[in-house]
Amino acid sequence: VITDHHECKSELPQAAALVDPHRKDQPQPVTELAGVGVAFKLAAAIEGDQEKLLDQYCDFLCLGTVADVMPLTGENRTMVARGLRALANPKRVGIAALMAECAVQKGPVTAGTIGYTLAPRINAAGRMETGRLAVDLLKSTELAEAMAIGEKINANNNERKNIDKEIT
């Protein structure tokens, strides 16, 4: 099963299912969803209870939607608003550890906090080392492990910024 949110090429890849709101054969395309939103919609269709999943994963939806620089309208706005409220007091150890590592205080988290502080660090893990670091951070349930990964991700982001400066 492939999910994506980018414009489809003329020839689609072979898969059991290809879920993409840009498919030409969609009855009502919803083109503003981020990749995380498309994956969420698939999971909600399988689960049968979108509200239940939104309660569980609004923090991830928020992070992914803002990081993907999607318009904050329609469903994106709903998901992000709910996620921002959840991120004010994060329940996931990995997200809390990353916020602590980059000095994001508990309390109101904004799209700017995600776009300029959290998302660049998550993205830097894959650019500088391996995206597995970010996955491990977001899945982490142990505080010590999450703090160590958050520190490594922050170091990757600092290295990325230094390289960007050198290139500029």
pLDDT (average), residues 31-40: 88
Beta bridge partners of 18: 2
Q: Which of 53, 54, 79 is nearest to 67 (CA)?
A: 79
pLDDT at 9 over 80: no
Say if CB 95 and CB 104 are below 8 A apart. Answer: no
Rounded Cα gap, residues 144 and 58, in angstroms: 24
Within 25-158, strands assigned E span: none
Give CA–CA dist 94/142, Å, rounded.
Answer: 8
pLDDT at 29: 62
How many CA atoms lie within 13 Å of 159's alpha carbon, on the beta-carbon side? 13
CA gap 140, 63 in Å, rounded? 16
Give 96-115 pLDDT, tens digit per residue: 999 999 988 776 899 999 99
Q: Which two tokens stand for residue 117?
A: 């502080």
Residue of 10 and 86 predicted with greater confidence: 86
